[in-house]
Amino acid sequence: MTFMELAKNRYSERFFDSRPVEQEKLDQILEAGRIVPTACNYQPQRFYVIRSEEALAKARAVTPFHYNAPLMLLVCYDMRTVWRNPGDRYYRDYNSGEQDASIAATTMMYAAEELGVHSVWLRGFDSKAVVDTFGLPENIVPVMMFAMGYPNDRAKPNGWHFKRNPIESFVTEL
C-alpha cells in the first residue's frame, strides 16, 4: 500500500473489538513515535500506555470518547525538554512541545493503521483531570489521547470523514 492509499483509507475508528493489540505491534507503533523529527532534536514527546483494567477505567473516567477501546495512548510532552523561542513576537513564550508531540502522534496513527490497528484521535478531555487522575508530574503536559484497537463488525467511518473542503480552501501561493 502506498502512503497516499494509507492516508485515504484511514478514518477515525469508534467501534472497537475487545481483542488486545499484540505487544509486538504496540512496540512498532511506539517506535514510530520515537523516531520522529522534533525541534532541535530535543525529543520532548512522552507516551503513556493505558491497557490494564485499572488504567482503562481511569481513562474512561476522564473522557467520554474512549469507545471501549482495549488500548489507549496518552501523548504528552515534557515541559523541561521543549525547544523554546522567547524571541517570537507573535506567540508569547513559544515552545515546540505541542508540535513535537503531535508529529509523534500523527506518525503513530499511520504506523498503527499500516498494522491494521485502527484509532481515533481524542482531545475531548480536561487536561487537569488527566494530570490529576494519572498523577502526572507537573512538567508533563497532556496533548492528546488515542483510543486504539481492532475494528469490530460495526466499524465504519462517520459522515465527517467524507466531508473535506476543496484544495483551494487550504492552499495559497504567496
Ligand X SMILES: Cc1cc2nc3c(=O)[nH]c(=O)nc-3n(C[C@H](O)[C@H](O)[C@H](O)COP(=O)(O)O)c2cc1C
Per CB under 6 A, residues contacting ligand X are: 11-12, 65, 120-124, 157, 160-161
When the beta carbons of 84 and 106 are compared against ligand X, the nearer one is 106
Residue nearest ligand X (C-beta atom) = 124
3-state secondary structure 53-87: HHHHHHHHHHCCCCCCCCEEEEEEEECCCCCEECC
* Shortest distance in whole angstroms from residue 160 CB to ligand X: 3
Q: Which is nearer to ligand X, 12 or 85 (CB)?
A: 12
Query: Would you say 65 or 134 has its CB closer to ligand X?
Result: 65
Residue 101, CA distances (Å) to 47, 57, 149 in order: 9, 24, 21
Query: In whole angstroms, how close is the CB of 55 to ligand X at the nearest point?
Result: 19
> For residues 56 and 84, which CB has a smaller minimum distance to ligand X in the complex?
56
- Cell digits for 24? 509486538
Q: In angstroms, what is the minimal distance from the CB of 86 to ligand X? A: 26
Burial of 30 (0-12, 13-18, 19+ CB in 10 A): middle
